[in-house]
Amino acid sequence: MSHIMNRLTRQHMAASRRRTLVTILGVIVSVAMIAAVSIGAASFKNMFQQMAMQDSGYWHAMLSDITAEQAARLEKDDNVENLFLSRELMYGRLADGMIQNEEKPYLYVMEYDKKAFEGMSLKLVEGRFAENAQELVIPRHLLTNGKAELAVGDTLTVTLGRRYVEYAGAEREYLGQRDAYLGGTETDESGEEAPAEQFEEAETRTYTIVGIVERPGNSQEGYYAPGYSAYTFLDSDALSPEETVNARLFLHKVNTKLYDQVKELAADAGVPTEGLSYNDDVLMYYGVSGYRDFVWTIRAMELILIAIIMVGSVSLIYNSFAISITERSKQFGMLSSVGATRKQKRNAVLYEGGVIGGIAVPLGLLFGCLGMAVTFRIVRSLLSSANGAEVPLRICVSLPTLLVATGFSVLTIFLSAYLPARRASRISAMEAIRQTQDIRLTRKAVRTPRIVRWLFGLPGEIALKNLKRNRKRYRAMVFSLLVSLVLFTTVGSYVYYVTNMYMMSADGSLPAISVYFDTQTDDPELFSQLCAVNGIRQGGAYDLCTMSLEISSAVAKPLLTEEAVEMRCRQFRRWGWEEERIREYRKKMESGNTGLDTGVSIELILMDDDAYAAYAEKVGAKEAPEGMFGGILVNWGRTNSAGALMEAPMLSVSAGETLRLAYVEREYEYDEKEGTERERIVLSQEIPVYLAAETKELPFGSTYFSVTGSVGLYLPKSQWKELGGQLPEALRDSVITNYYFSVEEDEDEAVEEEMETILTARNAGEYSLYNRIASARADRQMLLAISIFAYGFIALISLICVANLCNTISTSFALRRREFAMLKSIGMEPRVFRRMIRFESLLYGVKALLYGIPLSLLLTYGLYRTFTHGDIYTPFTLPWRIYGIGVAAVLLVVFIAMSYSSRKIKDESIVEGLKSEIE
C-alpha cells in the first residue's frame, strides 16, 4: 500500500505542475538564504580571525622553553598545521644618546626562524628579513619615537644583557617586556622611592641592519614595553637537540576542546605545560577563549536571520501542502475505504515533502554558495578598505556550514508538512466523499455589516463573505503580506538609522586631517612645513589638557540648568541607575548645594594667541582681569530627550562671572567589614576662571563638542604659560598637542602621504595621523556593503512571501472555479465580477497593513532606541519613504496576483466550472 500511496503522490505532483514548481522554487530560495546566512557568518568570523592574526600572529598556542627535539616531535602531530620557532635573546643597549626616549631606552632582540618572520605578521617597510645571525631587522618606531638615526645597511653594535631590580634583603628580580622601565622615580606602598632598575651585561654583538618593519601589534609589544622589538635570524636546522626555544603552533582544528588537546599534544611530546600560553586575541573569534561575546553575537544574528527565513518559508510550504491536502481529500477518503491506514496517509504527505526537499535542498545549497560568492566579489573591496586592514572577505564553505544549512532546511520542510500530514491522516472516507470537512459554517460566521453592502454593493459583500468562509486561506495570505511588509520596513529603517548616525558623526565643519601627539609639541617650523603641503586649505593647532577639572564650590543658585539636570538624569537612567538615586541627584542639583558632586567636568583646550583672538572677537569675549585665567566657555550639551534631540546650556553661568574649578585627587580605601571601596577626595588646588564669553559656537578645527558629562573651556596658550606656576605639576604635564587641517577634495591621500614623510624625517615622536576623509570614505563603503547585504536579504525573503501569496491566490481561485461559475450563471456581469475581485484584494492588503504597520513601527522604534543608546543622538523620525514603498508594494502585489488569477478564469466555460468537484 505504501508503494501505491507514493506513486499516487508523484502522479498528483505531476498533475499540479505549477503549484509543485512554485513550492520547489520557494524551498530553493529558502535553502539558498539559510545557506547564505550560515556561509556569511562563517566568512565574517574568518575575516575577523585573519585581522586578529595580522596583529598578534598566525598561531593558536605557544610552548615556551622547550628543546629543539621536543619541538620536532610536536611538528609531526597530525593536528599541527604549522610550527615556527623563536627565542628571546636579551635586551640590548646602544651607544649613549642613540635612543632618545628616556622611558624606552633598550632594544629587545629576538631570534626568529624563517617561518616565524611570516607567522608573526611582520610588515616590511624597507629592506628584507634577516637571513643569518649577524643581520638585524629594526622597527620603524625606533626611528620615529626613539629618534635613532639608523638606516638599512648601517652596522650596529649592541650590548646584550638582562634588566633587573634589587630590593633590600631580597634576590634580584629580572624584568621582561611587560614590566615598564623603572627609572627610580616610582614609589612603593610605604611612599618611599623604589630602587631603579639595573642592567646586567652579558655580551656584545655587531649586526648589519637589513630591514625595517612596522611597529608590531600591541599584543606583541605593549605601549609601555621598555624595549623596541628587533629581530635576528634563528637557524632551526643548526640547533642542537638540547637547545631551548619557543614553539608557536597553528592547528588544523580549533574548537572548545583546544585547551585539553594542546595539553595532550604537549604530554605526548614530553613537553611540560608550565610554559604553555594561548593567543586569546585570535581564539576569541573562534569562540574558544573566555571572551566569547563576539562569537555569540554573530551566532545570535545568524539564528535570528534563519528564524525569520524559516517563518516566511514555513508559511509558503505549509500553504502548499495544505492546498495539496484539500485537492486530494477525496482521494484520501477513497483510499481509506479500501484499507489505507492513518500512518500511510500521513506518510504520503511527508513523502511529498521529501521529494520536494530532495530536489530543492541541493539546488538551494548550490545557489546559496553562488549567490554569496557573487555578493562577496561585489563588496570585498568595500569591506577591505573599510576595515582598515589588508584582509579580504573570502567565502568560507565548509562541511559543517553546509550541514547546518541542510539541517535547518530539512527542519523547515518537516515543520511545514507535518501539520497538513496529520490533517490528511484524520480524513475519514465518508467526510472525504461528502467533502464536509472544510465547510462547517453558520450564518453568524459569515454575517457582514450592512455598511459594507451600502458602501461597496453586492460585490463587496460577497467578497467579504468569501474571506469569512475561507479564514485559513485568508489568514495565510495576510500573514505572508505582513511578514514581507515588516521585514522590508525594519531592514529599511536599519539602513536609514545607520545612515543618520554616519551623517551626524561625519560633520563637514571638522578638520579633514588631524595629527595627535602624545606630548605637548612646540615646533613652529614643523607646523609651517605641514601647512605648506600641496592641497592644504587651512591649518591650525591647539593643545588639549587630558586631565579634566571639576567645579569646586557651591553657589547660591543651582549650578546646572534645568535642562542639564534632565539630560544627566536621562543619561544616568541609561546607565542603569535606580530611580531613587536619580531623584536624590535631581533634588541635590536643584537645591544649589552641589559641591564637587555635579557630574559635570571642564575640558581645557589651549589655542594659539592669534586663533584665540579671532575666536574671541567672533563671540564677543571680554578681557580677563589681570592675574586670572580668562576663557571662552562652550556651554552646550546635547542628548536625547523624550525621543527628540535636546540641546541646551549646561551651566547656569554667563559671561563676566568667575567659575571656581578644582584640580582633584581621589584616594580609595577598602572597607573589609562592608566589602566595598570608599572614596576620599583630596582637594589639591582651586583655580578661579573668569568667563570671557559663554557660547555655543566652536572654533575652526575643534573636534570637541559638549556632551552631558563635560563642557569645554578655551584658553590662549600665552596665558597658560604665564599663569602655569599656579597649576599643579600633574595638570601641566597632561597637555598634548593636536594639529588640524582642511584639505582640498580628492587630495587627502596625497596630503596624508606627504605629511607622513615630513613627520618621519623630522623625528616628530609618537603621533597619530587621522585622515577623516578616508575614515568617512570607509564608513560610506561599509554602509554600502551593509546596504547590499540588507536589501539583498529583504529582497529574497520578500520573494518567498510573494511566491507564497501568488501560489495561495492562484490555487484559491482554481479551487473556487465552481463558485465563480455559479455567480456567472445567475447573471453576474464581468464588470461586477472584477469589482468583487478588486475589493477582495483590497481587504487582503488593508488587513495586512492594519497589523503590519503597528508591528513594524514598534520594531523601528526599538532599532532607534538601540542606535541612540550611545553618545550620538538623533531625533526619532520615521523613514516615511521606506514605509510608503512598503505600503505601495503590498497593495500592488495583491492587485497583480488577483488580476493574474482572475484573468485566467474569466473566459472559462460556466458548464466546465460547475462540473468542478472541489469547492
Residue 98 corresponds to which cell in the numbers above?
Answer: 642613540
Residue 676 corresponds to which cell in the numbers above?
Answer: 566595598
227-233 vs 106-112, strand pairing mode: parallel
Q: How far is the C-alpha of 853 from the C-alpha of 488, rounded, in Å?
A: 11
Residue 681: predicted pLDDT: 65
Percent of the chain with pLDDT over 70: 69
Strand partners, 713: 604, 633
Are residues 119 and 57 in contact, defined by beta-carbon separation less than 8 angstroms? yes
User: pLDDT tens, 244-268?
Assistant: 999 999 998 888 788 888 888 888 8
Q: How far is the C-alpha of 263 from the C-alpha of 258, rounded, in Å?
A: 9
Residue 488: predicted pLDDT: 75
Residue scoring higher pLDDT (304 or 873): 304
Residue 897 φ/ψ, nearest 5 degrees: -60, -45
The SS3 assignment for 252 reads: coil
User: pLDDT tens, 34-52?
Assistant: 888 788 778 877 887 887 8
Residue 434: predicted pLDDT: 53
**Ramachandran quadrant class, 763 (left: phi over 0; alpha: psi -120 to 50; beta: rest):** left
Residue 871: predicted pLDDT: 45
> If you average pLDDT over residues 623-640, what whole number do you get?
80
* Alpha helix segments (H runs only) across 723-829: 729-732, 748-761, 772-815, 817-825
* Helix 830-867 with 450-469: angle, nearest 10 deg: 80
Q: How far is the C-alpha of 342 from the C-alpha of 427, rounded, in Å?
A: 8
pLDDT of residue 192 exceeding 90, the answer is: no
* Helix 2-15 with 17-56: angle, nearest 10 deg: 90
Q: Which of 201-205, 235-239, 707-711, 838-842 has the lowest mean pLDDT?
A: 707-711
Residue 16: predicted pLDDT: 74
Residue scoring higher pLDDT (733 or 289): 733
The residue assigned the cell 626611528 is 143
User: What Å distances lie between residue 182 and 165, 179, 185, 224, CA to CA?
Assistant: 8, 8, 7, 11
Residue 741 φ/ψ, nearest 5 degrees: -145, 140
The residue assigned the cell 525573503 is 797
> How many of the other CB atoms lie within 10 Å of CB of 642?
8
Residue 788: predicted pLDDT: 72
Residue scoring higher pLDDT (556 or 665): 665
pLDDT interval class at 508 (50, 70, 90): very low
Residue 40: predicted pLDDT: 79
> How many of the other CB atoms lie within 10 Å of CB of 123?
11
pLDDT interval class at 300 (50, 70, 90): low
> If you average pLDDT over residues 730-750, what whole number do you get?
79
User: pLDDT tens, 218-244?
Assistant: 778 877 788 999 999 999 888 898 899
Are residues 903 and 813 in contact, defined by beta-carbon separation less than 8 angstroms? no
User: pLDDT tens, 351-398?
Assistant: 888 888 888 889 988 988 888 888 777 777 666 555 554 566 778 887
Residue 845: predicted pLDDT: 80
Q: Which of 26-40, 492-506, 684-698 has the lowest mean pLDDT?
A: 492-506
User: pLDDT tens, 781-835?
Assistant: 666 766 777 677 667 766 766 666 666 666 666 666 666 777 677 667 667 777 7
> If you average pLDDT over residues 148-163, what whole number do you get?
92
User: What Å distances lie between residue 754 and 117, 139, 748, 758, 761, CA to CA?
Assistant: 29, 21, 10, 6, 11
Residue 139: predicted pLDDT: 93
**Ramachandran quadrant class, 11 (left: phi over 0; alpha: psi -120 to 50; beta: rest):** alpha
pLDDT of residue 884 exceeding 80, the answer is: yes
644-648 vs 637-641, strand pairing mode: antiparallel
Residue 138 corresponds to which cell in the numbers above?
Answer: 629594526
Q: How far is CA 712 from the centre of its chain?
A: 31
> If you average pLDDT over residues 571-579, what whole number do you get?
75
pLDDT of residue 743 exceeding 50, the answer is: yes
Are residues 297 and 308 in contact, defined by beta-carbon separation less than 8 angstroms? no
| String of DSSP letters for 75-128 | HTSTTEEEEEEEEEEEEEE-STTSS--TT--EEEEEEE-HHHHHHTT--EEEE-
Residue 229: predicted pLDDT: 92
Are residues 365 and 35 in contact, defined by beta-carbon separation less than 8 angstroms? yes
198-213 vs 135-139, strand pairing mode: parallel
Residue 500: predicted pLDDT: 65
Are residues 234 and 111 in contact, defined by beta-carbon separation less than 8 angstroms? yes
User: pLDDT averaged over the chain?
Assistant: 76
124-127 vs 227-233, strand pairing mode: unpaired
| String of DSSP letters for 20-60 | HHHHHHHHHHHHHHHHHHHHHHHHHHHHHHHHHHHHH-S-S
User: pLDDT tens, 396-415?
Assistant: 887 887 888 888 888 878 87
pLDDT interval class at 642 (50, 70, 90): very low
Q: How far is the C-alpha of 578 from the C-alpha of 580, rounded, in Å?
A: 5
Name residues whose C-beta falls within 8 Å of residue 35's C-beta, 6 or more positions apart in sequence.
364, 365, 368, 369, 372, 401, 402, 405, 409
Highest mean pLDDT among 65-79, 165-179, 288-302, 511-525: 65-79
